[in-house]
Amino acid sequence: MEGERPGRWARRITVPGVPRSQGAPLQPRAPTPTVIRAGVQLAHHKVYDVVECIGEGGMGRIYRAYDPAMDRYVALKLLKPDMPDYVRKRFRREAVIAANFSHPNLPRVLDVGSVHVNGAEWMTMEYLRGRDLGRVIERGRTIPVPLLVEIFCQTLDALDYIHTRKIVHCDVKPDNIFITRDSYDRRIVIIKLIDFGVSRSLEHGEAVEQIAGDPLYMAPEQTVANEPFDARADLYALGMSFYESLTGRHPWQESIEAPVEELLRLQREWDPPPPSSLLPPGPPRMVDALDDVFATACAKDPARRYADARTMRKAMMRLRQLG
């Protein structure tokens, strides 16, 4: 319920902090100077009241938590404590990357740290009310084309922002496109592109030694280890997501439970039927435009795709004009 405060049942997590009692008598604190010199470090002690688990994956959980110091709810992402070092580093890196973003279609990262008791990494983000696009598709809801265009245009705005900063998301899919509402005018839909856990920086020339992402949405060049790829891989994944959102079926629906190797082969070698083949008859210009958006975004050769997110956004806007 909006505006609720956690009661006695809420579990409290203290991060990074220290135990309240170490078995030693309390020592009087030295007075804090009113003027602090440049270069002095200020330590902080953060407390969150954990309210409920709102998501769980193979590497950790996401909780709704209450920040009593700021009087607000946050999303607390907690990594499992037994994760290998490379996963912990990637988690920290995700937090640092996202914390430096400032865009209405990207979530704000508020803080990061580790739990004192077991060393588990955590980060807090703005708490979003709504649901992801994947859940909408699962429920079999038909999304009107104008709303679909709005959802994907805002997602492309987020991609344009990160791509100009040499960041590739690498995991664009309906589950990571979150639909919420403007806090002042609930009629306004706001899209947030979430989960930068496997994102890649092109600026630092990171090696792609491991395949990372969802095989159902990966671009062909992303399915091969050590194969270079760029921001156009995100546009391919968005095209796959557009097909699924438009038709209610994934392009590889019949093979969705196939082994990962088979899904990766499909991404490299097979072209799915155009989305119009799964839709009711419509105006020819609209049908052609829908098929063209998908075909261009999901071309096997990156050189034949949209050059960038802005170009794909313009194509999306033409759908709105036709609709």
Instruction: Identify the CATH number of the domain in which residue 273 sits.
Output: 1.10.510.10
| Measured torsion, CA atoms of residues 29, 33, 37, 39, in degrees rounded to the nearest 10 | 20
Please indicate, yes or no, whether residues 96 and 238 belong to a single structural domain of this protein: no
Does residue 3 sit within a domain? no
How many other CB atoms are found less than 10 A from the CB of residue 158?
Answer: 24
Summarize pLDDT for 124-176 with one digit per residue, the tens: 999 999 999 999 999 988 899 999 999 999 999 999 999 999 999 999 999 99
Do residue 173 and residue 283 come from a single domain? yes
Q: Note whether residue 168 is domain-resident.
A: yes
**Residue where one domain finishes, among candidates 93, 126, 159:** 126
Residue 105 maps to a domain: yes
- Same domain? For 88 and 151 the reply is no
- Looking at the domain assignment, is residue 276 inside a domain? yes
Tell me, yes or no, whether 66 and 157 share the same domain: no
φ, ψ dihedrals at 310, nearest 5° = -65, -40
291 catalytic per annotation: no
User: 161: number of CA atoms within 13 Å, CB side?
Assistant: 18
Query: How much is the pLDDT for 13?
Result: 58
Same domain, 197 and 239: yes
Radius of gyration of the chain (CA): 22
CB atoms within 10 A of CB 123: 23
Q: Is residue 5 part of a domain?
A: no
* Gap between the Cα atoms of 253 and 272, Å rounded: 10
The enclosing domain of 56 has a CATH number of 3.30.200.20
pLDDT, averaged in runs of 10, over the chain (323 residues):
47 51 58 76 85 89 96 96 89 90 95 86 95 94 92 99 96 97 88 92 67 90 86 98 96 92 94 94 93 98 98 95 79
Residue 323's pLDDT is: 67
Distance in angstroms (rounded) separating the CA atoms of residues 212 and 225: 9
Which residue among 160, 171, 195, 234 is the active-site one?
Answer: 171
Cα angle value 91/78/237 (rounded, 5°): 50
User: Does 26 reside within a domain?
Assistant: no
- Of the residues 101, 126, 151, the one at which a domain ends: 126
93 in any annotated domain: yes
pLDDT in tens, 275-293: 999 999 989 999 999 999 9
233 and 280 belong to one structural domain: yes
Query: Can you give the pLDDT at residue 4?
Result: 47
CA gap 195, 214 in Å, rounded: 12
On whether both 94 and 140 belong to a single domain, the answer is no
Find tokens 């440049």 and name the residue: 38
Whether 30 is covered by a domain: the verdict is no
Shared domain for 155 and 273, answered yes or no, is yes
pTM (two decimals): 0.85
Name the domain boundary from 81, 96, 126.
126
pLDDT of residue 42: 80
Contacts of 237 (CB under 8 A, 6+ apart): 169, 171, 172, 173, 213, 217, 218, 219
Residue 284 tokens read as: 């020819």
Pair 260, 155 in one domain:
yes
Q: Are residues 135 and 270 in the same domain?
A: yes
**pLDDT (0 to 100) of residue 90:** 86
Same domain (yes/no): 94, 203:
no
Quick one: pLDDT at residue 231? 97
Enumerate helices (H) and strands (E) in the chain, giving the number of each. Answer: 7, 11
What range defines the domain where residue 240 resides?
Answer: 130-322
| Together in a domain, 192 and 302 | yes
Domain count, the chain: 2
